[in-house]
Every structure is written in C-alpha cells, then in structure tokens.
Structure 1
Amino acid sequence: MATHPLWRPFIADGNAARQSQRVAFRQVDPGSLQDHDPHRADAFARVRDLVAGALGADHTIAHVGSTAVPGMIAKPVIDADLLLPDLGDERTWLPELEAVGFRLVFRDVIAGDPHRQLTLGDPNTNLHVWQPGAAEPQRHRLFVEWLRSHPEDRQVYADAKAAAVNAGNGLRYNDAKAAVVHEIYERAFASDPHHTHDAQPRP
C-alpha cells in the first residue's frame, strides 16, 4: 500500500510516553481554550523577533498549531517550529535562547527526528526545534494549511479539543484528541495531488 511521505502510524498515548524525556517544566501553564484571537499573529512576531535577535535572522521559523488558524479555538500558547542545522550541538544555540527567556523542557526524538522543545513565558510559547528536513514541522504546516481551507475539519478539530478538555478520563490533552488529528491527516494526505496515499485507518 502507498503511504504519503509525511504519514506516521497512530500512537494512542504518544504524549504520555514522551514525558520521561522532560528536563524541566514550562514557565506558564497553557491555560484554557479560548476563541481565536487575531493578536496571536502579533505574539508570534514577537517570538520570531526574539529568536532572530538571539540567533540571527537567517533561520526558518514558522507559526504552527491552532493559534495559526483563523477561527480555531486554542489554548493561548503560540506554537512555533524553528529549523537549526546544528540542533545536536546545543552549545551553539541554546545559551543564546535561554538568555532571552526560553527554557528547554524536552530533549527527545519524534518520528525518528531529533527534537528539542523550549517554552517562553511572555508570550506563552512552545518553540519546537528541529533539523532541516525533519518530517514533523512539514506535517505541522500541512495541518495548519488544511484547517485554514477546510472549515468542516476546523469544526471537527474544535469539537475534539473541547471534548479532550471535558473528558475527565485521565488522558493527557494531546492524547485525548490524537485520534481526530490522525483522521484529519488522513484526509489531508488523501487529497494531496503530489503524492499517492491509501487509507491507513488507526487500530
């Protein structure tokens, strides 16, 4: 069966499993779901400028996640993907980001790609750091683009977010909505005119 190059298998408790890779806790809690705030674009610009001031302006950084999707409810946290060719040599970039307020909270591997997650208190931010060519930031951009252009899936995802918050079943927030995220990706992959993708239903 053919699969989209950005496809990866469904993992029911992936966020819970990665907690062993945590090295610190975030400065500010994520908070509760809120209606879309158009000022989130300005908040991302502040994050982008902080990163550029610390590391130079020649790095790719993208606003991803729900705050990048107009009309989408979201926790008031900016998600951003930063690409660094020297990810493994933290001495070349981590002290500079820490000096402007970022904190390393995860050092792990996601879908085979090295990953670092940093947080920032103001604006409340998840900064995901990857090497160029990593699959996950490409997936993030595809997901945002799909939600921006497909209001029906935007509503499906919003409903899943609300259900994840209200479930009270002990699942972490990201794991509680992971099944819906997988299904949305399936539709996005199947609609990609550049790649063949046969349905890969989750177990």
Structure 2
Amino acid sequence: MTTAEIEAAHLGEARKLNGQVTLVEYDPQWPQVFEREAERIRDRLGHVEHRIEHVGSTSVPGLPAKPVIDMLLIVPDSADETAYVPPLEGIGFQLVIQEPEWYEHRVLRRHGLAPSAESANLHVLSTGCPEVGRMLRFRDRLRTHSGDRELYARTKRSLSQQSWQYMQNYADAKTEVVEEILGRAGHEA
C-alpha cells in the first residue's frame, strides 16, 4: 500500500512506526487470550450470524510475532457496520480502519488485553469473501508445515530489523514469501 492508501484507510491519523518492528517469541498464553476475547465478542454479537477465528502469527505455535492477537470476524456483510461496531465498542473495541475497496475490510482494535498481548486487531470480512479462505489456508499451512513456518519466521525476523514508516509497510514486505507459501498450500488443497 502507498502512504496515501494507508492514511486514507485509517479513521483519524494513521499511527507511524518510523522504526523497527518488535517481535517476541511465541507465548503459549496467546490462544487463551484469543479465546477470552472471542467469548466476549460472541456474547455481544448473539444477534448477528458470525464466526471468529484466531489468525496471524500469534495463532501459530512456535512462530515469533508482534504481541498483538489477530482475530478474524466473519459476518454476513462487513459493510454493515451498524450490526457489529456499536456492540463491540461497548467492550473496548474501536473501529480504526475501513477499506471498502478491498473486500469491505474493517479493523477494530482493543488495547490492554493481557501481559502477553498488547492489543487485538479484529479484522472483519463478509461470509464468502475469498480473503477469508486465504487467511485460514495460510494459518493452517504454517501450523502443519515446519519448513514453511521456519521460512516465514526467518523472513519476519530479517524484515523486523529494518526501519518502516508504517506497520503496513512491514506487512507488505512479507507478501512475496506469503504468496510462495500459499502457492504450496494451494497445491495440496
């Protein structure tokens, strides 16, 4: 994403990193933190058909990660913010990113989860969105293939040593290796 695209997607000012990414070793408490947050979300969204998945590096045992729990909320229509944003604001989530041109993607963030996790990013996509399958395929591939998990860990560690203006720049820099791994995952599907 370009700087203009990053800034346009954020509600309010996009937080700059202007430095290196801090990775920590895998913490076995991360799945428990995810489950606790997922349960809080389920309690608030009982009126909305939904599914919640733990995604991102904190969902893969043995993988270093930023201490941020990435969660995926799948709802019938992610563009219908009124169905899920107000109930989630009541438990501390704040809508921070809107990307209507990219699968109607939304991100809500909550800070101060636990000593092992600074925050949670709740990605919201619609049922049937191709990105949902892609995210889950990538997670599952890393969970079950040590060679790809190690390749991804090396890539993350190397890239984390560079200086990035935005966290999104770091994420985008991983695209080539992510696509390589997804290519192998697709051949086995």
- TM-score for the superposition, normalised by structure 1: 0.78
Root-mean-square deviation (CA), in Å? 2.4
Alignment partner of 1:142 out of 121, 137, 141: 137
**C-alpha distance in structure 1 between counterparts of 2:164 and 2:89, whole Å:** 36
Aligned to 1:3: none
Counterpart in the other structure of 1:125 = 120
Any unmatched runs of 5+ in structure 1? Answer: 1-12, 193-203
2:22 is the counterpart of 1:32: yes
Distance (whole Å) between structure 2 residues aligned to residue 109 and residue 66 of structure 1:
25
2:42 counterpart residue number: 52
User: Which secondary structure does the structure 2 equivalent of 1:125 belong to?
Assistant: strand
Output aligned runs, 1:47-196, within 5 Å: 47-56=37-46, 59-109=50-100, 112-123=102-113, 124-168=119-163, 172-192=169-189
The residue identity in structure 2 corresponding to 1:102 is F
* CA apart distance, 1:136: 1.1
Equivalent AA in structure 2 for residue 106 of structure 1: I
1:19 maps to 7
- Please report how far the alpha carbon of residue 77 of structure 1 lies from its aligned counterpart in structure 2 after TM superposition: 0.6
TM-superposed deviation, 1:148: 0.9
Instruction: Report the secondary structure of 1:36's partner residue.
Output: coil
Q: CA deviation at 1:177?
A: 1.6
Deviation of the 1:53 alpha carbon = 1.9
Higher strand fraction (1 or 2) = 2
Give CA-to-partner distance per residue, 1:92-114, whole Å, 9 cap, x none: 2211111110011111046x521
Asked if 2 retains the 8 angstrom alpha-carbon contact of 1:24 and 1:104, the reply is no
Q: Give yes or no for contact 1:18–1:108 (8 Å, CA) kept in 2.
A: no
Q: 1:75 to 1:25 in 2, by over 3 A?
A: farther
Q: Which amino acid aligns with 1:37?
A: D
The alpha-carbon distance between structure 1 residues 191 and 86, as it changes in their structure 2 partners (threshold 3 A), is closer
SS at match of 2:112: coil
* Residue type at the aligned position of 1:183: E
Deviations 1:100-140 (A, max 9, x none): 10011111046x52111111113210101111011112111
92-101 vs 50-59, which moves further: 50-59
Count residues in correspondence: 177
Identity within the alignment, %: 37
